[in-house]
Chains A and B, each alone.
Chain A
Amino acid sequence: MIQVKKHKIFKILRLGISYIVLIIMAIASIFPLYYVFMTSFSNAPNLISLAISDLFPKHLYFTAYKELLTTNLYGGSFPLWLRNSLILAGSTAVISVLLALITGYALSRLDIPAKKTLATFIYIVTFFPYTATAVPLYLLFAKFHLLNYIGLILAYTPGTSIFAAFIAKLSIDSIPASYEEIAMIDGLSRFQAFLRIIMRLALPVVALTAILGFSGAYLDFALAYSFLLPNIRAWTATIGLYYMAGLINPASAPAYNLFAAGAVIMGIPLMALFIVSQKMMTRAYSNLAGVKQ
């Protein structure tokens, strides 16, 4: 009897500790989001205080959103910059996916010289922070007149695709070669088989690469700032928000509610992308589970 009781107490204790840890983690990750959300609905340009009355406000003001979406700053506006960001991030994502999967396919399937050295090199390169390359890239691209979107995409894609290529290689390694071989015998070229069969079977990696490429380019500030600063109409949302919220000027107080509203708006496409890709990933995994090796 005592044994059983002891067992039960331990079980409750174990569950209790797990829940406490989980709740603390959840608060730590949800609170900042909530805080930004609430700040964006405040009508005062300062950060909201941690008082209960501010955290659970009685009124929600949309002044920050209204100001953000309507203000014209030297010919540029936030919706324009957001559109720029989406185009830039979208192209980066597409090109990253193609580049990463083609590289991964080559490393996995084709008989190319120095394959192992190349794979190791790629692996090591992924450790470099890409902001370290901002200055040399700026100098190089200035020479080639590439301080524009094309230059930015050229600068963003290798960063994501080189990391994703490594994952793609591992993923394609696990797909039996007979899938594409059958497709090739049935009338596709190797590249068509890659597009129609391998890309489809490696869908989780495609989704992951798309997210990495998209969010990398979408949220970047440093490179975009150094490349696009002179042309206001070409700014991305991050640069635009930085200026609009007045974070640039240390003399005046920055408009944090504006900044928070911008952050919320920018978060919507990212969230949509995550939801879509998560569906893609789970479906792809349940598909592969049925494969008999």
Chain B
Amino acid sequence: MTSYVKLEDIWKTFEEKKKKTEVLKGLNLDIEKGEFVVVLGPSGEGKTTILRIISGLLRQDKGHVYLRGKIVDDLPPKDRNVAMVPQNYALYPFMSVYDNIAFPLKVQHTPKEEIRKKVLEVAKMLRIDNLLDRKPMQLSGGQMQRVAIARALVKGADIILMDEPLSNLDAQVRVMAREELKELHRELGTTIIYVTHDQTEALSLATKVAVLHDGVIQAYGDPMEVYKRPTNAWVGSFLGNPPMNIIKGVVDSDSIIVENYRLGIPKDYKDLVKSGEKVLVGIRPEDMEIDNNGVLEGTVQMVEDLGAYSILHIKINESMIRVLEKSISRRERGEKVRISVDVDKMVLFDASTEKNLLLERGVKKN
């Protein structure tokens, strides 16, 4: 399938008070039709900038934007046929909900009858058809969000950009809105590009997740794949809550020495490393267990009880790691524990480039 939205080598620098900030540094992204792509990244890394470049509100310094296979660098926003749901929804306060939703159609001089039909159709789909006479200020956050989505849907654009549309909602409504959004995407099959800094949102919504850091996409693909096999150490330590533990280690014949303890080499990596090589070892907190027969030994520094599970912060010699313990933990600070590791789930990174050795050395072994 050819790409539907394509960003090719996008560079963007912002200049403020004679200080230059490079936000995007040669970003590439290829999105297929009907995909729900979530761009995930920390705050201030240019997520919104990407959306603004796709929509044409902002022009990139270098590189090209393709929509539906055509280059659109010189097209103004109004001719790109995309829709957007901004973070603050931007519902015009002086118009009723009906007029807000109808606005994109009115601008295109659609006949009144048709406007009416389309607005009612979208409103019904989003279950806001009883709110059409209200003003935006009389709506709750969740309702405002739905009106904003209705306005984006009404003109029938097949590419919808969403800028953290759930961040203004409270936790309960957010979970519901997430499900609704997923359902909507399944029904309509539109291409959605959604940016957020919330990983739970990213992992649960996306058909593909793109992790943004340092002005480029660090990892792009199926959310679970990116989670399990992070492309580099940064992605590993960013994704997941608690994030992946990254510890320095040295390969020694058929094992890895980590903080003076010996761990096995995960089977996928056996042929990729040689003895004496320095590596970074990535272990997910949920792939470790407190176990009296465990290989690692450390002292508990801090315990975070989160209800369903607890996060233990454990110091092993010089390294701090986080271990997930299911059920409420009754461990004390300073307690010595042993930890066993699910070796085959470990990920190894190159010590200098920090890239996943599996991807860097290119030999896939199943």
Decide if B172 is an interface residue (CB 8 Å cutoff): no
Residues B137-167 near A (CB distance < 8 A): 137-138, 141, 144, 151, 155
Expressed in whole angstroms, the minimum distance between the Cβ of B48 and any Cβ of chain A is: 10
Q: Which residue of A lies closest to B78 (CB)?
A: A187
Decide if B83 is an interface residue (CB 8 Å cutoff): yes
Expressed in whole angstroms, the minimum distance between the Cβ of B65 and any Cβ of chain A is: 14
CB atoms of A197 and B78 under 8 A apart: no
Decide if A189 is an interface residue (CB 8 Å cutoff): yes
Given contacts A185-B55, A185-B84, A186-B107, contact A292 B144 (CB under 8 A): yes
Q: How far is the CA of A292 from the CA of B89 in the complex (A)?
A: 9
Decide if A181 is an interface residue (CB 8 Å cutoff): yes
Contact mask for chain A residues 14-36; partner B; CB cutoff 8 A; 1 contact, 0 none: 00000000000000000000000
Expressed in whole angstroms, the minimum distance between the Cβ of A178 and any Cβ of chain B is: 4
Decide if B93 is an interface residue (CB 8 Å cutoff): yes
CB atoms of A290 and B137 under 8 A apart: yes
Contact mask for chain B residues 77-118; partner A; CB cutoff 8 A; 1 contact, 0 none: 110101110111110111000000001100110000000000
Decide if A200 is an interface residue (CB 8 Å cutoff): yes
Decide if B76 is an interface residue (CB 8 Å cutoff): yes
Q: Which residue of B lies closest to A283 (CB)?
A: B94
Q: How far is the CA of A263 from the CA of B277 in the complex (A)?
A: 95
For B83, what are the chain A residues with a Cβ–Cβ distance below 8 Å? 185-186
CB atoms of A184 and B57 under 8 A apart: yes
Decide if B25 is an interface residue (CB 8 Å cutoff): no
Q: How far is the CA of A150 from the CA of B94 in the complex (A)?
A: 35
Q: How far is the CA of A231 from the CA of B107 in the complex (A)?
A: 48
Contact mask for chain A residues 29-68; partner B; CB cutoff 8 A; 1 contact, 0 none: 0000000000000000000000000000000000000000
For B88, what are the chain A residues with a Cβ–Cβ distance below 8 Å? 176, 178, 291-293
Q: Which of B55, B92, B155 contacts A197 (CB 8 A)?
A: B92
Expressed in whole angstroms, the minimum distance between the Cβ of B64 and any Cβ of chain A is: 20
For B82, what are the chain A residues with a Cβ–Cβ distance below 8 Å? 185
Residues A144-189 near B (CB distance < 8 A): 176, 178-179, 181-189
Q: Which of B56, B107, B137 contacts A187 (CB 8 A)?
A: B107
Contact mask for chain B residues 16-45; partner A; CB cutoff 8 A; 1 contact, 0 none: 000000000000000000000000000000
Q: Which of B89, B90, B151, B155 contacts A181 (CB 8 A)?
A: B90
Decide if A289 is an interface residue (CB 8 Å cutoff): yes
Q: How far is the CA of A31 from the CA of B305 in the complex (A)?
A: 74
For B77, what are the chain A residues with a Cβ–Cβ distance below 8 Å? 181, 184-185
Q: How far is the CA of A182 from the CA of B152 in the complex (A)?
A: 9
Expressed in whole angstroms, the minimum distance between the Cβ of B103 and any Cβ of chain A is: 6
Residues of chain A at interface, number, CB under 8 A: 22
Q: Which of B78, B92, B107 contacts A179 (CB 8 A)?
A: B92
Q: How far is the CA of A291 from the CA of B108 in the complex (A)?
A: 26
For A291, what are the chain B residues with a Cβ–Cβ distance below 8 Å? 88, 93, 137
Given contacts A287-B137, A289-B137, contact A187 B108 (CB under 8 A): yes
For A287, what are the chain B residues with a Cβ–Cβ distance below 8 Å? 93-94, 135, 137
Which applies to chain A's interface (DSSP): helix, strand, loop or mixed? helix
Expressed in whole angstroms, the minimum distance between the Cβ of B142 and any Cβ of chain A is: 12
Q: How far is the CA of A182 from the CA of B147 in the complex (A)?
A: 13
Q: How far is the CA of A43 from the CA of B89 in the complex (A)?
A: 64
For B104, what are the chain A residues with a Cβ–Cβ distance below 8 Å? 186-187
Q: Which residue of A lies closest to B48 (CB)?
A: A178
CB atoms of B103 and A178 under 8 A apart: no
Q: How far is the CA of A102 from the CA of B209 in the complex (A)?
A: 42
Decide if B230 is an interface residue (CB 8 Å cutoff): no
Expressed in whole angstroms, the minimum distance between the Cβ of A173 and any Cβ of chain B is: 15
Q: How far is the CA of A289 from the CA of B137 in the complex (A)?
A: 8
Given contacts A182-B84, A185-B77, contact A288 B93 (CB under 8 A): yes
For B108, what are the chain A residues with a Cβ–Cβ distance below 8 Å? 187
Decide if A201 is an interface residue (CB 8 Å cutoff): yes
CB atoms of B90 and A292 under 8 A apart: no
Decide if B136 is an interface residue (CB 8 Å cutoff): yes
Expressed in whole angstroms, the minimum distance between the Cβ of B115 and any Cβ of chain A is: 13
Q: Which residue of A lies closest to B82 (CB)?
A: A185
Q: How far is the CA of A291 from the CA of B95 in the complex (A)?
A: 12
Expressed in whole angstroms, the minimum distance between the Cβ of A125 and any Cβ of chain B is: 24
Q: How far is the CA of A184 from the CA of B44 in the complex (A)?
A: 24
A-to-B contact residues, CB < 8 Å: 176, 178-179, 181-189, 197, 200-201, 287-293
* Additional A-B contacts beyond A181-B84, A287-B137 (8; CB < 8 A): A181-B55, A181-B57, A181-B86, A184-B57, A184-B76, A290-B137, A292-B89, A292-B144
* Top-6 shortest CB links A-B: A290-B137, A186-B104, A178-B86, A187-B107, A178-B90, A287-B93
Q: List 5 A-B contacts (CB under 8 A).
A: A178-B87, A178-B90, A185-B83, A201-B93, A201-B94
